[in-house]
Amino acid sequence: MILESSDRLVECVPNISEGRDSAIINSVADAVKNTPGVKLLYVDSNKDANRTVFTFTGSPDSVLEGAFNLTRISTSLIDMREQNGVHVRNGAVDVCPFIPVNNVTMDECVKIAHRFAQMAGDKLGIPSYLYGNAANIKQRRKLSFLRRGGYEALQNKLNSELWAPDYGPDVFNDVVAKSGTIQVGARFFMVAYNIQLKTDSINDAKQIARKIRTSGFKKNKTPGMFKELMADGWYMDSYNCAQVTMNLTDYRVTGLHHVYEAVKKEARAKGFDVNGSELIGLIPLDAIVDAGRYYLKHNFKGELSSQIEDEKLIDIAVDNLGLSAIEPFKREKRIFEFLLGD
């Protein structure tokens, strides 16, 4: 896909609650690939989270069709009554956000989100909750609010008028027991980002997460260090360590370098260090370049950052954030704009 200035382009980043069964993951990927006008950019699976993130782009109508095709296949193959993993989840297609990329407004993505949610309800019998810019109810703007209690709480929620879905059935029938609910949103480009800790303590990871995230410590209503940041702590068997897992909901406000340096400081105060970090899915070019500029300024004082090319800034960011600690960071496969140029 070569991006032309006149192209109308939307990004969709559905997360499904399956990260272990390659046959299911491949079937879902094929459903996206076989949608006319859609380009599947990246598939990111994690066995511990039991979750896969798909990233694809296309015209508004094509992306809507691709999201529906993904949902139809996912909900036919995934049974939430048997699903488990460290990541909190509400449904087989757990989240489905639409993001404006080129010549498309946020308002248009809101309309796409509503159309998709209605299709999921009318054609598949799946309840949907709208979040982000698509939310009809103020409290539901935050995905964390909708995730409270996870799948296990859905039956009680659907029995409450306060939790009536925006679209789809409001009863916990056999279809909903299998599929769960879909959280459908319209939002800015979010960066999913995890930092490895040299400890196996979930408690320490959660304490650090509470200190840095926007919501802070909810029990005593102490705000966190950063705005536009969701964070939690968990243990990853496959990495043999705890992680601080984060969503940077606006990297222009809180960047990778901000949270990495803060987590490193908090970890050292507790007597251990960090061991690099990882991205989940894709990252915009300016987000990683901004991190490179930060480390250039702090580590190579005197050098003029305005004269440094993006390629060098990417290298600096990757090195300082430890983005190759788990596997080599391949910019041509992980930076959103580079994939659009294929």
Per the DSSP assignment, residues forming a β-bridge with 233 are: 244
Q: What is the DSSP string of 29-52?
A: HHHHHTSTTEEEEEEEEETTTTEE
292 token code pair: 């490179």
Nearest residue to 194 via CA among 140, 143, 260, 288: 260
Q: What is the DSSP string of 150-182?
A: TGGGHHHHHTSGGG--SBS--S--HHHHHHB-E
88 token code pair: 């909190």
Using a 10 angstrom Cβ sphere, with 0-12 exposed, 13-18 middle and 19 or more buried, the burial of residue 229 is buried
Measured CA to CA, the distance from residue 162 to residue 35 in angstroms comes to 36
CA 125, chain centre distance (Å): 25
CA 257, chain centre distance (Å): 18
Sort residue 43 into left (φ over 0), alpha (ψ -120 to 50) or beta: beta
Q: Which residues contact 19 (CB under 8 A, 6 or more apart)?
A: 25, 45, 46, 47, 48, 49, 50, 51, 52, 85
Measured CA to CA, the distance from residue 292 to residue 278 in angstroms comes to 16
Q: Is there a catalytic annotation at residue 87? A: yes
Q: How many residues does the chain have?
A: 342
Of 87, 114, 257, 258, the active-site residue reads 87
Q: Which residues are catalytic?
A: 87
